[in-house]
Amino acid sequence: MSQHSKVAFITGGNRGIGLQTAKDLGKAGVTIVIGARDPGKAEAAVTELRQAGITAEAVAYDATRPETDRSVYAHLEKKYGHLDILINNAGMMNEDLLSTTASTVGVNALRETFEINFFAVVRLTQTLLPLLKKSAAGRIVNLSSILGSLGVHSLPNSPIAQTKALGYNASKTALNAFTVHLAAELAGTPIKVNSAHPGWVKTELGGKHAPMEIVDGSKTSVRLALLGPDGPTGGFFHVEDTLPW
């Protein structure tokens, strides 16, 4: 299957890393479908993509509204009949990375974070999986974070030792577990499932002090989305590097 016939659905693809991922995949010939809550921002992103010569459109998707999972499925099934790439990019953080502790984080904050960063991802992926199974080379990319790595957190003198926002970190750890389990279930099929750590990027979530620019934050997602048949599955990556769970 040529990349020109591939279709990618990117949640939160109207800004930041999601939009940059859409640009990079679109320039590689992939048809882009953006899932976003705000119709105005979504259409502005689509206009930007189309001006760059990319085939793109937007559909309504809200991680807090399960009914939009089904409407996304219905749209993709009717217009394309399949899905080649699912980028689970949308996410949120409602804690301060440097001041929240495991003994002080509110249970409601934990629930809200897990609803968006974990449960919504699992639900959407399960909904769209029948379309991915119709692809000759389905790819699922879950946007995780090195902050979800128990291995790195546990290192002596860990480089992320001070970032113990339990809700965000644990939601990404859970997302990594979903990656491992789904990849194992789909072993022997054309579908590959991987977790991506984009890096600390200058976005609304990453903040202005992040060392990486948005143009570099999409590299891991794009690589995993375009993996060849011999590429890895069930892994956790930052660009070419494999990260510990």
Query: Which positions are catalytic?
Result: 168
Q: What angle do CA 58, 42, 76 make, to 5 degrees?
A: 15
For residue 61, the number of C-alpha atoms closer than 13 Å in the C-beta half-sphere is 34
Burial (CB count <10 Å: 0-12, 13-18, 19+), residue 92 = middle
Beta bridge partners of 21: none
Angstrom distance (rounded) from CA 108 to CA 105: 9
Angstrom distance (rounded) from CA 197 to CA 218: 10
* Cα–Cα nearest to 17, from 166, 219, 192: 219
Q: Are 171 and 182 in contact (CB under 8 A)?
A: no
Q: What angle do CA 24, 25, 27 make, to 5 degrees?
A: 65
Angstrom distance (rounded) from CA 23 to CA 25: 6
